[in-house]
Structure 1
């Protein structure tokens, strides 16, 4: 068996691998597995954090997810996972509600799978999502205006935030770049994070649908704690093990 105390590069390589595969690591578990002190593991995690591989959290570290591609490129993806999330989230929508659908490629899939028979008021800051919502004859569609950011595909800035802050939402389908039990939902864009935090304050129910590669993980800017989120939706075949880390949080988990 390799003496990991003697070979720090191999030790850190194994930690990198576990972060890629599992999204987070625990100091005590790594200490026992590698037969080194927790102090040594903490030094390793500090070094990996300096490289941007992970973020230190209490008792361990969580993986830093890769920054997202532009919305247009992600919208072309059309992956089966996002399609399944769209179907699962659409089934959670309540009749006659005022619903906010946040910008994002996964939320675009939600807009393509809404039930035809429900009367709804649908609000979004995404022009492409608004076009999809126009297909539903019983739905009123409100598009928040302003500068459209290419990364998120949604309007951001003072204008859409002021418009949003005059509306109360029954449900909000919130997009995110990463989610972890300790850090909650996070994104890469500062302005987008502020807009989403304001949405959380205006919504009775927050629903987040995430692909498996975003859990557990962390991006740069905080949006909402796990306690702020009502429901986490994930694809069972891809994310069943990953959502287990959220079991102790007061969050409903829907596997679709």
Structure 2
């Protein structure tokens, strides 16, 4: 058996692999597994954090989420998987509900799947979502205005934020760059994070639909704790080791 205490590079490579597999690591467990001290593991995690691989949290670390680029670039990624997630979200759209749909390629897939005969009012700051709903005879669409961010494909500035703060929603479909049990929901862009915070504040219920890679990861700017989220929809293929922590949280976990 390799003496990991004497081989920091191999030790850190193993920790990195574990982060990529599960999204988070715990110091106590790693120290026992590798037969080294917790202090040694904390030094390793600091080195990996310095490399931008993870973020240190209490008792361990969480992997840093990777950006998939702008909304336009993300539209062609994992389409089949996003369609499955979108279908699982539709039962939460109730007749005559007042709903906000946030930016994001998965959320756009959700908007496109809303039944034609369902009467709703949908508010969005994302032009592509508004366009997708134009053919829905019974769906009233409100598009918030302002300067469009190329990264988000949505208006996330002061103008749209002021409009948003005058409304109260039955349900919000919130986009998430990363989501973790301890860190919560996070985003890459600070204006996007601030806008998402306002969405959560103005909504009775919040639904997030994410692919497996966004679970147990963290982005630069925190949006909200997980106790603000009502429903989390993710993929059925997610390993139980990763799902276990989310099952402990008081939210409805849907596997699609």
The TM-score with structure 2 as length reference comes to 0.97
Q: Please state whether the residue corresponding to 1:2 is helix, strand or coil.
A: coil
CA distance in 1, matches of 2:92, 2:148: 28
Match of 2:225 in 1: 225
In the alignment, is the contact (CA less than 8 A) between 2:100 and 2:124 conserved in 1? yes
Q: Please state whether the residue corresponding to 2:141 is helix, strand or coil.
A: strand
Match of 2:84 in 1: 84
CA distance in 2, matches of 1:240, 1:231: 18
Cα distance change, pair 254–39 in 1 and its aligned pair in 2 (3 A): same
Gaps of 5+ in 1: none
Deviation for aligned residue 1:241: 4.5
Gaps of 5+ in 2: none
- 1:152-167 matched pairs, under 5 angstroms: 152-167=152-167
Cα distance change, pair 239–167 in 1 and its aligned pair in 2 (3 A): farther
Q: Please state whether the residue corresponding to 1:89 is helix, strand or coil.
A: helix
Match of 1:37 in 2: 37
Match of 2:54 in 1: 54
Aligned-residue RMSD, C-alpha: 1.1
Moved over 6 A (4+): none
1:208 has 2:208 as partner:
yes
Q: Please state whether the residue corresponding to 1:112 is helix, strand or coil.
A: helix
Match of 1:138 in 2: 138
In the alignment of these two chains, the number of paired residues is 256
Q: Please state whether the residue corresponding to 2:18 is helix, strand or coil.
A: helix
Q: Please state whether the residue corresponding to 2:222 is helix, strand or coil.
A: strand
Match of 1:14 in 2: 14
Deviation for aligned residue 1:118: 1.6
CA displacement 1:36-72 (0-9 Å, x = unmatched): 0111101111111111110111111000011231110
Q: Please state whether the residue corresponding to 1:243 is helix, strand or coil.
A: helix
Q: Please state whether the residue corresponding to 1:32 is helix, strand or coil.
A: helix
In the alignment, is the contact (CA less than 8 A) between 2:22 and 2:241 conserved in 1? no
